[in-house]
Structure 1
Amino acid sequence: MEQQSRLAGTVRPGGRTARTRAAVLEATQDELVECGFHGLNMDRVAAKAGVGKTTVYRRWGDPAGLVTDLMAELAESSAPHADTGGIEGDLLANALNVLGAVTDPRLGATFQAVIAAATGNEAAAAALNDFYLRRIRAWAPVVDRAVARGELPEGTDGMEVIRAVSAPLYYRLLVTREPVDEKVAEHAAARALAGARAGAFT
């Protein structure tokens, strides 16, 4: 769930339509960081992106449509899962990637805005759910490989292990508002690994 550039990766080639989408999503993220979901204004997004308002309304419809597309782009542009050769290193890499995302001033603020919006907006909630499912599914194969290597019990649920790694980080960030640092990330990965080795996720 890690950011590779100001938006979520280098702008992909694809002509005018792709450039328009990239500019609009960048402006959408600016608005989320500055104003939150409920302050997201379609006209300001269009102005910041340098495109016509009719284009933004026609293609994205409403603020929820912008957020849905932004979250899809963030998921698509996130770095692939690690392959350190062992499950301990892979889970630690996952924890550090999550840490990097939630503590990044721009990306962390984006997630917090969308998470806050998800409480009362079904479209925002669906976009958030889709983002996290895509990232969890992208990382689950590191657990499958560990099972194949004999590092974890047969039948270990890879998605549940990955959820267990990130859950303590999000809990501290969003519920208790405690500091989140590398030590917390390391402990989260180690505890998830201990549980997986003990068969807690089979």
Structure 2
Amino acid sequence: MVAPPEGGGHHVFELPRVTALLMHALPRFIEGVIAPVAVFYAALTLLGLNGALVAAVAWVYGGIAYRYARGHRVSGMLLLAAVGVTVRAATAAATHSAVMYFLQPTLGTLTISLAFLASVPLGRPLAMKLARDMAPIPEAFLKHDRVHRFFLRISLLWSMVLFANVGVSLWMLFNESISMYLWFRTGIVAGLGAVGVAVSVWGFKRLVRHVNHEPAPTA
């Protein structure tokens, strides 16, 4: 949110409470992350592997087409879900190996990590787009040079976190049983994600304090 200008045209951005951020982000998280997985597994039970692939792809791209048709903004999470489900569908269509099946989410993660990395030299940090989905951040705040540099660094951070996720997943998939992979890989990946979230939130709060305490621009 934006506080009223103080002593001139300087707008102060106040970070909403964590509960407000969660309530704002939850529908997008369900739409872009939870729903595609639920659709896939429901279709897998009813229609088999090929039917599940078609259903998952149709769900994600149908959601994107629906938003474009209605003139609504497509969330970053939904775009990432589209990238991930495309990679998984292509891989599953090429092979029915059990190892390859569990490799699909890892390939999707690798693609997303590359997307974060590629957004840095392009100067269009993917982390900034995701942050807009997570919180109602005003455009004036996002246009600040310090804010742009911060999101470039956070995009690089998440690229590294996801690369580590991929490394752990690949090692466990090819060196441990499937059951060990499912249980322990989930815990390790959750820990890596928690570290990334903690660093991102701490850095963003610090950024907000710095930007809010900058003097208002003079005419």
User: Greater Rg, structure 1 or structure 2?
Assistant: 2
Query: TM-score, with normalisation over the residues of structure 2?
Result: 0.30
